[in-house]
Amino acid sequence: MAEEKPQHGSLGGLVAGMREGHESGRTKELEWRQAQLGGLIRLITEEEDAIFNALHEDLGKHRVESFRDELGVLVKSFRNTLQNLKKWVAPEKAHAPLISFPCNALVVPEPIGVVLIFSCWNLPLGLALEPLSGALAAGNAVVLKPSELAPSTAAFLAANIPRYLDAKAVKVVQGGPEIGEELMEHRWDKVLFTGNARVGRIIMTKAAKHLTPVALELGSKCPCIVDWLDSKRDCQVAVNRIIGAKWSTCAGQACIAIDYILVEEQFAPILIELLKSTLERFFTEPEYMARILNEKHFDRLTNLLKDHQVASSIVHGGHADRKTLRIEPTILLNPPLDSDIMTEEIFGPLLPIVTVNKTEDCIAFLKPKPKPLAIYAFTKDEMLKQRIIAETSSGSVTFNDAIVQYGLDSVPFGGIGQSGFGQYHGKYSFELFSHRKAVLRRSLLIEFMFRYPPWDEYKMGM
């Protein structure tokens, strides 16, 4: 049964109840944490069909795409956490200098307390459950606020989380910005927010009132450099992966989707032809690509194409149907660099290609731009790879693929600068939601009196 939406004023009681539950110590037990992770795995596997339906209702996602990007990634991640949790919760021995002898120093991970997670609509299951699993693994009580813009998934989470997880320590609160703002009036021990930077600022401002630490997972324009790949096969692999990371991942409505391509002028025509022919082979049915979230986002995207100079740069696609909320995979060649499509995050199935004289020029192009969540480069040139790593800054860099870094539990996921801060996934989630407590155990046996006054000449000469 769906959890009742709390009325204004009742949230205080909910937060207080969560705090009480956390302070009882139940959530700190390793067995409790393991049981929650087991519950999450069962939630995904037993409710697979309901999840596929919800994701289809919210975004028109095909079940194979939903499995690849959400359910599959999540189950793999939960299993990894479950497998490693015992190791992660164990106190770590730390070096204690001779001066403190005898001393035993440890770093003990401690649950941070009561956590609030805001998730976003584009991966409405993944962006809710991935951080939730980390917060539970770290032994916290959690309130999850799913995005109201993916209402079927939000309702699914509200109805099923209490069935699979400890309903006293994990709550789902449904609602829009007003509920989000009201939640932020309360004191939390950590807030993780996924969404746009405007709301990120509101969250941070409100969190400051209680000195609550926040992690912000925001958006950006992720560039993709395409260097000359000398074999036909390699070019084809690169194009498959570009299409995978642009149109086949929620129709480009993904924070780490390729936003635009940078390529040498002489290679652009070959790249465009290969993109066109591969798109034709991949998207034989319209429903193989997700739809645009809603009319507001559809209008935002089609408005990006309205500018005369932008419209005249379209070299493929461009057709859009407001009734079905579908926009054809669209490629643009050299739209003006000061147009909205080149200055705002696109978050949709439009792909500008910007040409440069030499591939190396891409680095100078990227350097003054805000730091994105990801930089991608298809290249075999080791020197170029080294230069990209050393001379640019971004949440991540992936060579010869895109988006796949999201699925790795072994590397941190998060932004830098305007794309956000605070990293999670795998052990990084556990760390994000834990406090690392320094624990020193000393003995009373040996005492060095030089620590104390009076500061006589002997001590001053030491």
Active site residues: 217, 255
Stretch that binds ligand NAD, among 4-12, 98-106, 117-125, 324-332 (CB under 6 A): 117-125
CB-wise, 12 or 176, nearer to ligand NAD? 176
Size of site (CB under 6 A) for ligand NAD: 29
Q: Should residue 147 be labelled a site residue for ligand NAD when binding is judged by CB under 6 A?
A: yes
Residues 144, 170: contact at Cβ < 8 Å?
yes
122 or 434: CB nearest ligand NAD: 122
Among 176, 269, 286, 336, which residue sits at the site for ligand NAD (rule: CB under 6 A)? 176
Selected from 18, 199, 226, 325, the binder of ligand NAD by CB under 6 A is 199
**Exactly one of 56, 145, 186, 190 binds ligand NAD (CB under 6 A); which one?**
145
Query: Interface with ligand NAD includes 114 (CB under 6 A)?
Result: no
Closest CA to 371 of 242, 218, 188: 218
What is the Cα–Cα distance from 65 to 382, expressed in whole angstroms? 32
The distance of closest approach from Cβ of residue 151 to ligand NAD in the complex, given in angstroms and rounded to an integer, is 11
The CA-based angle 311-315-321, given to 5 degrees, is 65
Q: How far apart are CA 19 and CA 12, in angstroms?
A: 11
Please, which residue, 313 or 396, has the CB nearer to ligand NAD? 396
Report, in Å, the least distance between residue 184 CB and ligand NAD.
6
Region near ligand NAD per CB under 6 A, out of 30-38, 217-225, 231-239, 363-371: 217-225
Q: Is 186 in the site for ligand NAD (CB under 6 A)?
A: no
Given a contact cutoff of 8 angstroms between Cβ atoms, the answer to whether 250 and 149 are in contact is no
**Residue 149 makes contact with ligand NAD by CB under 6 A:** yes
Residue 365 has which token pair?
């192009």
Smaller CB separation from ligand NAD, 183 or 315: 183
| 196 lies in the site for ligand NAD, by CB under 6 A | yes
* Nearest residue to 223 via CA among 175, 176, 262: 262
- Please state the separation of Cα 313 from the chain's center in Å: 32
Of residues 276, 274, 281, the one with CA closest to residue 235: 274
Does residue 134 belong to the site contacting ligand NAD (CB under 6 A)? Answer: no
Q: Which of 77, 122, 140, 212 binds ligand NAD (CB under 6 A)?
A: 122
What burial class does residue 225 get, using C-beta atoms within 10 Å of its C-beta: 0-12 exposed, 13-18 middle, 19+ buried?
A: buried
Beta-bridge partners for 170: 142
Closest to ligand NAD by CB, 27 vs 147, is 147
Q: Residue 52: which residues within 8 A CB-CB, separation 6 or more?
A: 63, 66, 67, 71
- Determine which residue in the list 25, 91, 177, 336 makes contact with ligand NAD, applying CB under 6 A: 177
Q: Tell which residue, 414, 431, 404, has the closest CA to residue 81.
A: 431
* Stretch of 62-70, 115-123, 166-174, 327-335 lying at the interface with ligand NAD (CB under 6 A): 115-123
CA distance 327 to 342: 18
H-helix or E-strand spanning residue 441? strand 434-442
Q: From residue 135, how far is each of 1, 33, 111, 294, 456 by CA, in Å? A: 24, 9, 8, 31, 53
Structural contact between residues 301 and 310, judged by C-beta atoms closer than 8 angstroms: no
- 194 binds ligand NAD per the rule CB under 6 A: yes
Binding ligand NAD (rule: CB under 6 A), the pick from 6, 139, 180, 352 is: 180
Q: Kindly write out the interface string for residues 371-400 of this chain, putting x where it contacts ligand NAD by CB under 6 A and - elsewhere.
A: --x---------------------------
Instruction: Candidates 44-52, 107-115, 192-200, 319-327: pick the segment binding ligand NAD (CB under 6 A).
Output: 192-200
Q: For the beta carbon of residue 318, count every other beta carbon within 10 angstroms.
A: 16
- Given 69, 130, 345, 409, the residue binding ligand NAD (CB under 6 A): 345
Query: Under the rule (CB under 6 A), what is the footprint of ligand NAD?
Result: 118-122, 127, 145, 147-149, 176-177, 180-181, 184, 194-196, 199, 202, 217-219, 255, 345, 347, 373, 415, 420
